[in-house]
């Protein structure tokens, strides 16, 4: 019996582990040319190495590699609350997986819960991009939409301002008590190449996604920004159990958005 119990526990942990390491979203842009040249492929490889190194140090980097027609542009960023060890692990995985997931694409983007990586043969730095998106909404509705939405709007207003504010590195987090027992947590994140105005614009569009209306939790994942709110803690500092649980996609409906 003790053995069985142990076995089940390990099994359950494995499921959580697998879910938390799967990408949250991926885009291999079909509108871009499907075949890269060997020269571009080589530049993508070298760019990815550069991005992994720099992002592991500072949590963010935007960089280019190559010249002329074979030049590639890349950006990598960890969610700003994520500790550097988790950031480094995430970005290494992302750089390895992106080429397997999007072979021969010149425009590829890959999101994990803790980090994001992207490359393109065209420059995208500083541009608000809300065209492609992946949305996850909790299958459960809130019981008192009016009270909930008022609290959510006020909290999002606060975290959006933090994210677009000076010295934030694109991150805003906050929480608000809905009752003695219920707390609402929210996070907003922009890629660090965006200006404050562009960051706000991106977050405004993300907050307006009707897919999230009256849901107990929601994630909006765009190429330029990310918004999430939940009725449980999901941003760091977090204990290991909460970190695993909050990375799970179980109990969420997803929606893929295309431009
Ligand atoms: C695809 O490649 C061709 C030839 O290099 C180029 O003329 C065309 O603009 C490219 N299309 C896109 C969508 O990038
Ligand atoms: C949540 O609300 C939507 C829209 O009003 C409704 O279609 C759906 O059935 C509700 N879901 C649950 C689990 O009650």
Nearest CA to ligand 2 atom 6: 141
Nearest CA to ligand 1 atom 13: 32
| Ligand number nearest to the C-alpha of 143 | 2
Check pLDDT > 70 for residue 4.
no
pLDDT in tens, 191-214: 999 999 999 999 999 999 999 999
How much is the pLDDT for 6? 46
C-beta of 33 in contact with ligand 1 (< 6 A) = yes
| Ligand number nearest to the C-alpha of 31 | 1
For residue 201, the Cα-to-chain-centroid distance in whole angstroms is 17
Average confidence (pLDDT) over 118-137: 96
Phi, psi of 57 (to 5 degrees): -80, -45
**Tokens matching residue 142:** 């809130």
Q: Torsion-angle region of residue 92: left (phi > 0), alpha (psi -120 to 50) or beta?
A: alpha
pLDDT in tens, 233-251: 999 999 888 888 888 888 9
Q: Which residues in 56-94 are b (16+ Cβ under 10 Å) and which e?
A: beebbbbbebbeeebebbbbbbbbbbbeeebbbbbbebb
How much is the pLDDT for 34? 60
Ligand 2, CB within 6 Å, residue ranges: 139-141
Q: Of 195, 246, 232, 236, give the one whose Cα is nearest residue 203.
A: 195
Domains and CATH numbers, the chain: 21-120 (3.30.430.20), 133-257 (3.30.430.20)
Beta bridge partners of 137: 218, 253
Instruction: Report the C-alpha gap between 18 and 243 in whole angstroms.
Output: 13
C-beta of 70 in contact with ligand 1 (< 6 A) = no
Nearest CA to ligand 1 atom 7: 33
For residue 172, the Cα-to-chain-centroid distance in whole angstroms is 14
How much is the pLDDT for 33? 62
Average confidence (pLDDT) over 147-167: 97
Taking the CA of residue 215 as reference, the ligand 2 atom at the shortest distance is 1
**Tokens matching residue 170:** 């694109």
Average confidence (pLDDT) over 161-185: 97
C-beta of 141 in contact with ligand 1 (< 6 A) = no
Nearest CA to ligand 2 atom 7: 141
Average pLDDT, the chain: 90
Q: Of 163, 257, 164, 162, give the one whose Cα is nearest residue 212.
A: 257
- How sure is the predictor about 11, in pLDDT bands with cuts at 50, 70 and 90? very low
**Tokens matching residue 129:** 């991009």
């Amino acid at each position: 019996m003790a053995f069985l119990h142990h076995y089940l526990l390990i099994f359950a942990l494995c499921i959580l582990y697998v879910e938390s390491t799967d990408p949250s979203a991926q885009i291999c842009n079909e509108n871009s040319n499907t075949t890269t040249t060997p020269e571009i492929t080589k530049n993508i490889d070298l760019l990815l190495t550069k991005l992994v190194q720099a992002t592991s140090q500072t949590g963010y980097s935007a960089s280019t590699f190559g010249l002329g027609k074979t030049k590639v542009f890349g950006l990598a960023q960890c969610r700003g609350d994520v500790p550097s060890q988790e950031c480094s692990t995430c970005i290494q995985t992302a750089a390895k997986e992106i080429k397997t997931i999007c072979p021969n694409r010149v425009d590829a983007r890959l999101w994990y819960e803790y980090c994001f990586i992207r490359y393109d043969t065209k420059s995208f730095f500083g541009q608000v991009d809300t065209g492609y998106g992946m949305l996850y909404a909790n299958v459960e509705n809130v019981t008192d939409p009016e009270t909930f939405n008022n609290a959510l709007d006020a909290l999002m207003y606060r975290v959006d301002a933090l994210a677009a504010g000076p010295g934030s590195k694109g991150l805003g987090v906050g929480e608000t008590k809905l009752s003695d027992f219920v707390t609402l947590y929210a996070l907003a994140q922009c890629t660090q190449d965006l200006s404050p105005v562009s960051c706000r614009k991106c977050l405004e569009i993300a907050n307006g996604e009707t897919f999230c209306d009256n849901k107990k939790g929601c994630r909006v994942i765009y190429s330029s920004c990310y918004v999430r709110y939940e009725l449980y803690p999901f941003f760091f500092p977090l204990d290991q159990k909460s970190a695993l649980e909050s990375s799970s996609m179980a109990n969420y409906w997803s929606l893929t958005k295309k431009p």
